[in-house]
Amino acid sequence: MRGRKALAYGAAICASWGGSASAIDLDLTSTDSIKNAAATVAFGMMSYYTGNHTGDNPGNLPSPYYWWEAGACFGTMVEYWYYTNDTSYNPSVTAAILSQVGTNEDFMPTNQTKTEGNDDQGFWGMTAMTAAEVNYPNPPSDQPQWLALAQAVFNDMVGRWDTSTCEGGLRWQIFTFNTGYDYKNSIANGCLFNIAARLARYTGNSSYADWAEKTWDWVEGVGLMSDDYSVYDGTSDTTNCTSIDKLQFSYNQGIYLFGAAMMYNYTNGSSLWKERVQGLLNNTNIFFQNGIMYEEACEQVNTVGNCDTDQQSFKAYLSRWMAATTKIAPFTSSYSLPLLASSAKAAALQCSGGTDGTTCGEHWTDNSTYDGNFGLGQQMSALSVIQSNMITQAPELVTNSTGGTSVGNAAAGSGSSDESVTVIAPATGADRAGAGILTTLWLAGVLGGVSFMVAGT
């Protein structure tokens, strides 16, 4: 994912016009009220999606939104179905996700392969994993299945584990010619950790848990996570990861929180993983001001904030992962649920812009004073925090032994049709060397002569 300042698009362009101060009515004691509020915000968010229009690209969002955020958007809509049982968007959401799986059914579609990063692929993989965990309706049997897609992303990422610098870790970017290839960051490694932990719980296979442990140990060892569980943004391999960028973003804290909660659940309440969950949860406190969620690194810079298009969606993921964590690590509920409630109330008040009077702004801390800052990320964040207040009523997150119906393929991601249940073990030196040779040959054959750079931050 790459930063760019937001410009609103399409049907939501009218949101910049002065609107009534009606806001969204939200009564958190009423399930119907929460569902109605979620439906209003979901409609606003999906108005940005043009992929189901004739001649447009299915599964993609228009500029300025990058491909990863489309994956996050559809993951949010999977959860919208989970919370509300509203099936009206399911055909569009399912078609959008499946349109981006690519030839090898691993979310490496040809329209993204020159710019795709590990975190980009990871967000689509987590969307598929969410679909499996909430028992979202399965695709037709001749299409890729949710669990297999998540396994494919895991397998691809494991194949990219890089010990040439920093004694391991995933790079932000997949391809050498993209800016950020020399950056090993928390979100790329967080995607691997998160997916591995969730696959461990869903399948019961310890090889996934081994990789979750391996990734956690590397992140902690290199200094991307502090002793008190603050998660920092990243580090450069040009200095062998000796200097840490200590910016803190809410989605980094959240992605490790939910992954750690999965490991806590998988290990039947391990005291070590409980300590880690609690530590990560405690350090979400920097993302709340007077009980209201905000993006600490950018939202109030120079009073009005300077969050870019990507960052304007980050509160969505912290909301989602804090809520989901309460399902599998219930001891977190007393901390998280009141914060999700107060944030949802503030978000609903901030959804008071546009000609419809319900377009959502960015600064929930402004409450009913609409900030005029609108876009898909703002809608996604508001939707996520509002519907998360139904988590106590929502079904449990399933596994393949507790009602999960999604079909897996542990060998997915390589183009192989092998459907054995063997899971890739943690990579050996020989494995990595072989993978490196194959990657070099493939890049030389397919991308030979390519010498451009893709702009990004």
- The confidence score (pLDDT) of residue 189 equals 98
C-alpha distance from residue 436 to each of 152, 304, 396, 453 (Å): 18, 46, 41, 22
Answer yes or no: is pLDDT of 439 > 50. no
- The confidence score (pLDDT) of residue 453 equals 26
* Percent above pLDDT 90 for the chain: 82
Residue 17 tokens read as 């016009």
Burial 256-282 (b: 16+ CB within 10 A, else e): bbbbbbbbbbbeeeeeebbebbbbbbe
**The pTM is what?**
0.88
Distance CA 311, CA 308 (A): 5
Burial of 308 (0-12, 13-18, 19+ CB in 10 A): middle
* Percent above pLDDT 70 for the chain: 86
- The confidence score (pLDDT) of residue 52 equals 87
- The confidence score (pLDDT) of residue 414 equals 65
Residue 451 tokens read as 């010498």
HEC profile of the chain: CCCCCCCCCHHHHHHHCCCCCCCCCCCCCCHHHHHHHHHHHHHHHHCCCCCCCCCCCCCCCCCCCCHHHHHHHHHHHHHHHHHHCCCCCHHHHHHHHHCCCCCCCCCCCCCCCCCCEHHHHHHHHHHHHHHHHCCCCCCCCCCCCHHHHHHHHHHHHHHCCCCCCCCCCCCCECCCCECCCCEEEHHHHHHHHHHHHHHHHHHCCHHHHHHHHHHHHHHHHHCCECCCCCECCEEEHHHCCCCEECCCCHHHHHHHHHHHHHHHHHCCCCHHHHHHHHHHHHHHHHHEECCEECCCCCCCCCCCCCCCCCHHHHHHHHHHHHHHHHHHCHHHHHHHHHHHHHHHHHHHHHEEECCCCCEECCCHHHCCCCCCCCCHHHHHHHHHHHHHHHCCCCCCCCCCCCCCCCCCCCCCCCCCCCCCCCCCCCCCHHHHHHHHHHHHHHHHHHCCCCCCCECCC
- The confidence score (pLDDT) of residue 1 equals 66
pLDDT tens for 147-203 read 999 999 999 999 999 999 999 999 999 999 999 999 999 999 999 999 999 999 999
Number of residues written out for the chain: 457
Answer yes or no: is pLDDT of 418 > 80. no
At residue 56 the predicted structure's pLDDT band, cuts being 50, 70 and 90, is confident
Distance CA 335, CA 177 (A): 44
Q: Give mean pLDDT, residues 293-301.
A: 96
Distance CA 437, CA 416 (A): 19
Q: Give mean pLDDT, residues 265-291.
A: 98
